[in-house]
Chains A and B, each alone.
Chain A
């Protein structure tokens, strides 16, 4: 029985996430067939083993989650969630913006646009805990940071401004965009933890 990986397709860079997961599966030399596809509806989500919440505009995605009645289905999702950028904002327990109703799945406090505007967006090499094969080239676009973490949150990477990569249980949240580069080590790590 193949495992399904759903990419939440409300808004944002959905196709890049699909491509990145497909690459990751190929690199892992997947034995059981997994498929990656966009999801928009509650029944589609509950049928998945893993879910990705892509980058995009967190206020827009949050609003569309409410509008499409996806808040509870995602909150009660039993698989692992892989969240980047806007996704990290949504996964938090506390966000600095009242217009966003965070899912509270990872016990972190998040600051949106922590680095400023687009001209302050940057690329850099990050040392990520548990990735042995050298630094990870990370792309930060109007990125958030986590300013605080609760117990049970495993910090994977931090920079001067704050925490930029965390894991809690099956979930992983990143302030940057691994799906925009061709390095899939984080995707692979996430899938391996789910036993794929």
Chain B
């Protein structure tokens, strides 16, 4: 039993110690964590199919009391009968189990961080926080779910438990934790509706006062931010939009104060969204920190964010690499000497291959990956990135190039295809890929397979730009058409062009391809290159155009400058002077069908 003189001091000490423990260890994952045990017990009885329809509601009430008793009675007995010194040591740990302070924002921040790596990662992470279906959520909806959960937990995980602890001691906090967990597991309007009916109602009752205390705290915070009226107005307007008595009011105050919009697709929208959640999210964090008196996120959990962990070959790194090539010229080279000339002329990268496309046209037999010896020499000679071509579908050639240290692989129709059905599964590689495309559908199929860069196919080795123009116009034109479509039309269009719907939608939202889009195939002069840039290319590949011209050095420099000043006809005119002969052009209409390279690999 607790000595009488410390009736006040002891609870305060226990609370302080519990908060300290939380700060230090957060929420350890363990099967023996009391809340985990509680969860398993609820999962055991909480299966609606165990009961007949008529019995579900009664069973829900009965087991609610059993569960709460099961969780709270030990706490009560411990408080009543444990010797004070034992209580002093153990009670903080028990109380700690009833609230979550530090992990509050960690969960939301983990989602934000996952989103930085991509939508899919964000969906995966947010699934751990909310019960909604996350498969179709956009970035904004994912952020919304994360910040809604943070806002809701401000009441559930900290204000309420501390409130009940101060009124009824350890047992009070335990009753609350049990009631809240019951609602979180059963309080849904699906097949659990009847079984969870009592749990949901009791949670409404328990949180009624704490939710309003949270609101008062938030008002104080937003008053300091000069946002009191906006938060109050939003509370008046939107508090009933969310089902339940307590969640909506806190969320509406938060949405109004932070100026954001919470949205659960098809269910509710709270707030006006004066700013995006990306921006307003920081204000939400500040509000939560102010209410919970956290100076700053002291413990952005460094044990979980491993500072030494390096991730290689991610989608972001691959696309980022491609993005660094923008505004540049990538030149085809067959040996180290040509690579050196290209680098000196200002190429952003060189493409190593056995023969330039125009020689491949003349040669009989299969065209394959270049000799590793030559690729290694080129890599040793230049400091700019070195790319290499592999046959369509030839994943072993790709493995070889990756091993050699090539920076990007071109799965190219210029070489003889190795697989007439499948392209390489490019997501399996650490090194990024570029692929050719003639239209939007083909581009998006390649991106779906993992290409980090797309280029027009054009008609390589002809020195004739007409096909590159056709392909660039087809891609850019389709994206312009997409912008006027609604969702259904886009889904339909995706089926028509045989591309994944989510990529079609992404193109329409961004107004461009999700990856860098270069032009290739038949570019022979500075004007050709500048035209492709004006048509929307992010950069150009020049194949035979440089080393089949009469003065490669000069031609290379001229094309680099023309791309740099693609909108300045004066510069293009100046650099085009006295270049000597460009490569001889071929009329693509005179090619036999089996000579047309662009039909390879669709």
Residue numbers of A with Cβ under 8 A of B are 9-16, 23, 26-27, 40, 55-57, 59-60, 63-64, 67-68, 85-86, 97, 99, 112-113, 116-127, 132-135, 137, 139, 141-142, 177, 180-183
Say which residue of A27, A68, A120, A133 sits within 8 Å of B300 (CB atoms). Answer: A133
Distance of A137 Cα from B325 Cα, bound (Å): 22
| Contacting pair A121 B312 (CB below 8 A) | yes
> Do A97 and B383 have beta carbons less than 8 Å apart?
yes
A-B pairs with beta carbons under 8 Å apart, 27 shown: A9-B327, A10-B327, A11-B326, A12-B324, A13-B326, A26-B275, A27-B279, A40-B565, A55-B324, A85-B324, A97-B383, A117-B385, A117-B407, A119-B312, A122-B312, A122-B317, A123-B117, A123-B310, A123-B317, A127-B307, A134-B109, A134-B297, A137-B113, A141-B320, A142-B324, A182-B116, A183-B116
Contacts A26-B279, A60-B328, A123-B317; A13 near B323 (Cβ below 8 A): yes
Instruction: State the CA gap A63–B344 with chains docked (Å).
Output: 9
Instruction: Give the complex CA separation of A40 and B327 in angstroms.
Output: 12
B67 interface residue per 8 A CB criterion: no
Residues of B with Cβ closer than 8 Å to A? 109, 113, 115-117, 275, 278-279, 282, 296-297, 300, 302, 305-314, 316-317, 320-321, 323-328, 343-344, 346-349, 379, 383-385, 402, 405-408, 430-432, 560-561, 564-565
Docked pose: A68 CA to B117 CA in angstroms: 37
B443 CB to closest chain A CB (Å) equals: 19
Q: Which residue of A lies closest to B109 (CB)?
A: A134
Those 3 A-B pairs whose CB atoms lie nearest each other, nearest first: A134-B300, A118-B407, A11-B327
User: Are the CB atoms of A63 and B346 closer together than 8 Å?
Assistant: yes
CB distance from B326 to the nearest CB of A (A): 6
Residue of A nearest to B276 (CB): A26
Complex-state Cα separation, A139 to B320, whole angstroms? 9
Which of B326, B348, B561 has the most chain A CB atoms closer than 10 A to its own CB?
B326
Q: Which residue of A lies closest to B567 (CB)?
A: A40
Which residues on A sit within 8 Å (CB–CB) of B314?
Answer: 123
- In the assembled complex, the CB of B556 is this many whole angstroms from the nearest CB of chain A, namely 12
Given A141-B320, A142-B407, A124-B300 contact (CB < 8 Å): no
Minimum distance in angstroms from A156 CB to a CB of chain B = 15
Q: B560 to chain A: which residues have CB within 8 Å?
A: 60, 63-64
Known: A127-B307, A139-B316, A142-B385. 12 other contacts (CB 8 A): A9-B327, A10-B564, A11-B327, A12-B328, A14-B326, A57-B385, A60-B346, A60-B560, A63-B560, A117-B406, A119-B430, A142-B324
Asked whether A11 lies within 8 Å of B328 as measured between CB atoms, the reply is yes
Known A118-B385, A139-B317: A124·B279 in contact at CB below 8 Å:
no
* Given contact pairs A11-B348, A133-B300, A137-B113, A122 touches B311 in the complex (Cβ within 8 A): yes
Cβ–Cβ contact A177 & B305, under 8 A: no
Please measure, in the bound complex, the distance between the C-alpha atom of A142 and the C-alpha atom of B318, giving whole angstroms: 11
Contact of A113 among B115, B116, B347, B383 (CB under 8 A): B383
Interface centre among A26, A68, A119 (most CB of B within 10 A): A119
Measured in the bound complex, the distance between the Cα atoms of B561 and A12 in whole Å is 14
Partner of A180, one of B300, B313, B320: B320
Residue of B nearest to A68 (CB): B564
A118 to B313, CA, bound (A): 9
Q: Write out the residue numbers on chain A whose beta carbons fall within 8 Å of the beta carbon of B116.
A: 137, 181-183
Inter-chain contacts of A137 with B (CB < 8 A): 113, 116
Q: Please, which residue of chain B has its CB at the minimum distance from the CB of A66? A: B346
> CB < 8 Å: which of A26, A57, A124, A183 contacts B309?
A124
**B278 x A122 contact (CB < 8 A):** no
**Are B320 and A177 in touch, CB under 8 angstroms?**
yes
In the complex, what's the smallest C-beta–C-beta distance from B288 to chain A, in angstroms? 13
**Would B384 and A57 count as touching, CB distance under 8 A?**
yes
Partner of A141 from the list B317, B344, B349, B383 (CB cut-off 8 Å) is B317
- Is B306 within 8 A of A125, CB to CB? yes
- Give bound CA distance, A40 to B565, whole Å: 9
Are A119 and B348 in contact, CB atoms less than 8 angstroms apart? no
Neighbouring A residues of B321 by C-beta, 8 Å = 118, 121, 141-142
**Nearest-CB residue, chain B, relative to A123:** B311
Do residues A60 and B326 form an inter-chain contact, with CB atoms below 8 A?
A: no
A158 to B536, CA, bound (A): 39
Q: Is the CB of A57 within 8 A of B328?
A: yes
Chain B residue numbers with a CB within 8 Å of A177 are 320
B430 cross-chain contacts in A, Cβ below 8 A: 119
Q: Is the CB of A117 within 8 A of B405?
A: yes
Residue A56 contacts which of B307, B317, B348 (CB distance < 8 angstroms)?
B348
Residue of chain B at shortest CB distance from A113: B383
Residue of B nearest to A86 (CB): B324
Complex-state Cα separation, A99 to B432, whole angstroms: 27
Among A14, A124, A127, which residue has its beta carbon within 8 angstroms of that of B311? A124
Q: Tell whether, in the assembled complex, residue A64 and residue B564 are in contact, meaning their CB atoms are under 8 Å apart.
A: yes
Most chain B CB within 10 A, of A10, A12, A118, is at: A118
Q: CA A23 – CA B277 in complex, angstroms?
A: 12
Chain A residue contacts of B348, Cβ below 8 A: 11, 56-57, 60
- Distance between Cα atoms of A20 and B289 in the complex (Å): 26
Given A125-B305, A133-B300, answer yes or no on A59-B324 (Cβ-Cβ < 8 Å): no
A64 and B327 alpha carbons, distance in the complex (Å)? 11
Report the Cα distance A174→B200, complex, angstroms.
52
Nearest to B565 among chain A residues (CB) is A40
Residue of A nearest to B275 (CB): A26
* A56-B328 CB under 8 A given contacts A118-B407, A137-B116: yes
| A59 contact from B309, B323, B379, B383, Cβ within 8 A | B383
The reply to whether B297 and A133 contact each other, CB–CB distance below 8 Å, is yes
**Chain B residue at minimum C-beta to C-beta distance from A57:** B348
Chain B residue with the shortest CB-CB distance to A180: B320
- Please report the C-alpha to C-alpha distance between residue A23 and residue B278 in the assembled complex, in whole angstroms: 9
Q: How far is the CA of A99 from the CA of B344 in the complex (A)?
A: 9
Chain B residues closer than 8 Å to A68, beta-carbon distance: 564
**Given contacts A118-B431, A133-B296, A133-B300, is CB(A57)–CB(B325) below 8 Å?**
yes
Bound-state CA distance A25–B212 (Å) is 35
List chain A residues, Cβ under 8 A from B344.
99
CB-based contact B316/A134 at 8 Å: no
A57 touches B349 (CB 8 A): yes
Which residue of chain B has the shortest Cβ distance to A13 in the bound complex? B323
Note all chain B residues with C-beta closer than 8 A to A119. Answer: 312-313, 402, 405, 407, 430-431
A189 to B172, CA, bound (A): 46
Using Cβ atoms and an 8 Å threshold, which residues of chain A touch B302?
135
Q: Are B564 and A11 in contact (CB under 8 A)?
A: yes
CB distance from A113 to the nearest CB of B (A): 7
Docked Cα-Cα span, A150 to B303, in Å, equals 34
The answer to whether A135 touches B307 (Cβ under 8 A) is yes
A133 / chain B contacts, CB cutoff of 8 Å: 296-297, 300
Residues of A close to B432: CB separation below 8 A: 118
Interface centre among B282, B324, B383, B430 (most CB of A within 10 A): B324
A72 to B565, CA, bound (A): 20
Chain B residues contacting A125 (CB-CB under 8 Å) are 305-307, 309
Q: Kindly provide the distance from the CB of B324 to the nearest chain A CB, expressed in whole angstroms.
A: 5
**Cβ of B66 to closest chain A Cβ, rounded Å:** 42
